[in-house]
Structure 1
Amino acid sequence: MNYCALASGSNGNCYYIANAENAILIDVGINAKHVELRMANLGIAPTTIKAIFITHEHTDHIRGLAVFCKRYQIPVYMTIGSYRGSRLQLPENLVHIIRRDEVIEVGSLTICGVPKYHDAQEPCSFLVSDGETNIGVLTDIGRVCDNVKHVIQQADILLWEANYDEELLDTGSYPFFLKNRIRNGWGHLSNHTALETVLKYRTCRLRHLILGHLSGQNNSVELVRQTFAPHFRKIKLSIATRYQETELFDSRALLPPLATKIIIQQVSYQATFVFPES
């Protein structure tokens, strides 16, 4: 599978995942022009995108959605809460309302919704699989619930939120209400919570960890690298930023997993995932 972050940060998020036959985007949180430019840098044609999956309605996840999906007539999958909260008026033929724990097939890709804690109306993250390699995209995580733990345990490739450094947030210029919103269990994960969580729940199958959704004021690439790098010397470690796209990664170039793969179809995700209370 090929995958990359076209943008990742508190000002915009967009993630690309594809196999030989099918390609999807998770979120379109930068404007359509920049999506196209960053795709062009990687040799990706927008016309190859078969579906867009939206995690929630915050602007940094939907900013370019309306223009991009209309321009290329791409179906959009999102929960009813996210669609209502977005206040977007998308063509009816392009909108597909899903449950937060729904499993959708786009060709040979399987996309599993992952209910989570975040201060949005009906948010979910996604786990994408081709039946052999599992890619988890987990950002905007207010707190670590059983659903999130489960995805970490299943992931060969994990795009994981490291949003803020606690000291920078505490001493920064954000007003108290905003600081509290970020760390009250419905906002985002700090670097250290993100690190402790992955160290506790990762399995031998994790081969690539990508840190993303960094805060522009309360974090830095260097802080994230210093926090994570000493603990992940034996797997590939990358940091996605707001400034440019990552390289286009190929799962075939990664070291083979140390444990036998668990095929995603053997797991009943709808039976496993539970709904965090609102």
Structure 2
Amino acid sequence: MKYAALASGSNGNCYYIADGQDAILVDVGVNAKHVELRMHNLGIVPSSISAIFITHEHTDHIRGLSVFCKRYQIPVYITAGSYKGSRLHLPEELVHIIPSDAKVQIGNMTVYGIPKYHDAKEPCSFVVSNGVLNIAIMTDLGRICDNVKHVIQHADILLLESNYDEEMLETGRYSFYLKNRIRSGWGHLSNRIALEALLENRTARLKHLILGHLSGQNNTVDRVQETFAPHCERMKLSIATRYEETRLFDTAELSTEEIVQIRVQQTFYQATFVFPEN
């Protein structure tokens, strides 16, 4: 499997995952021109995308969706709440409404919806599996619920939100209202909370940790690196930013001897949670 963050941050998010000829995007939160440019930098052909999965309706996750999906006629998988909240009017034949705990087959890949806490209409994260390896895209997490813990425990590659440094947020120029929204349990994860969740739930199968969705005002790459690097001696550590795409990673670079060879159908399941009203 191949994977990359084309953009990751509070101003735009877009993630690429492929297995052989099958490829998907999770979110298209930067304009289509920049998506195409960053794909070109990695040797990815936009028309090779089989499907787009949308986590929720906030602008930094759907900004380029309408133009990109229409231009290349790519099916969009999105929850009813997210689609309604987006106020987009996409071609009917391209829209596939899914539940937040969906299970969708795209070629050899199974895409699992992961319900989560976030201040959106019907948000979910996604885990993508080829039956052996699980790649998880986990951003915009208001808190570490059991769903998030379960994903961390079963991920081989994990892109995890590390949105803000608590001191920078507290002393920064954001309004009191916005500060509380971010740390309310419906907003985002701090570096500290993300690290605690990682340390409490990671297993030996986690081989690549990518930290993403960094705030432009309340975090820095250096702070994230300093927080996580001392705890990642036995895994690859990367940080995805808003400024440029990551390189195109390939799971073939991971030693097969290091990967737990258990099919996801036997080890990955989704608990059912009833979330409070936002």
Measured against the shorter chain, the TM-score band is over 0.9
Q: Is 1:274–2:273 an aligned residue pair?
A: yes
How many residues align? The count is: 277
Give the C-alpha shift of residue 265 in structure 1: 1.4
Distance 1:225 1:79 in 2: 34
User: Using a 3 Å threshold, how does the CA distance of structure 1 residues 185 and 256 change in structure 2: closer, same or farther?
Assistant: same
Alignment match, 1:186: 186
- The residue aligned with 2:89 is 89
Q: How far, CA to CA, are the matches of 1:240 and 1:112 in structure 2?
A: 22
8 Å CA contact 1:205–1:261 kept in 2: the answer is: no
Structure 2 unaligned blocks of 5 or more:
none
Residue identity matched to 1:184: S
Question: 3-state DSSP class of the match of 1:269?
Answer: coil
Q: What secondary structure does 1:160 align onto?
A: strand
1:262 aligns to 2:262 (yes or no): yes
Residue equivalent to 1:27? 27
Could you tell me how far 1:252 is from its partner in structure 2? 1.0
| Cross-structure match for 1:119 | 119
Q: Percent identity?
A: 68
CA contact (8 A) 1:3 1:248 kept: yes
Paired residue secondary structure (1:125)? strand
Matched, 1:70 2:70: yes
Matches within 5 A, 1:224-243: 224-243=224-243
Q: Distance in 2 between matches of 1:114 and 1:21?
A: 25
Q: How far apart in 1 are the matches of 2:261 and 2:147? A: 19
Cα distance in 2, alignment partners of residues 83 and 129 from structure 1: 25
Asked if structure 2 preserves the Cα contact closer than 8 Å seen for 1:26 and 1:53, the reply is yes
Residue ranges of structure 1 left out of the alignment (5+ in a row): none
Tell me the distance in 1 between the aligned counterparts of 2:67 and 2:272: 33
**Root mean square deviation, CA, Å:** 1.1
The alignment's TM-score, normalised by the length of structure 1, stands at: 0.98
Question: Is contact 1:82-1:120 (8 Å) kept?
Answer: yes
Please name the residue that 1:209 is paired with: 209
Task: Give 1:258 deviation, angstroms.
Answer: 4.3
Q: Which whole-Å CA distance do the structure 1 matches of 2:211 and 2:257 have between them?
A: 20
What is the one-letter code of the residue matched to 1:91? P
CA distance in 1, matches of 2:274, 2:210: 26
1:257 & 1:209 partners in 2: Cα distance? 18
TM-score, length of structure 2 as denominator length: 0.98
Q: What residue identity is the alignment partner of 1:121?
A: K
Cα distance in 2 between the residues matched to 1:209 and 1:260: 16
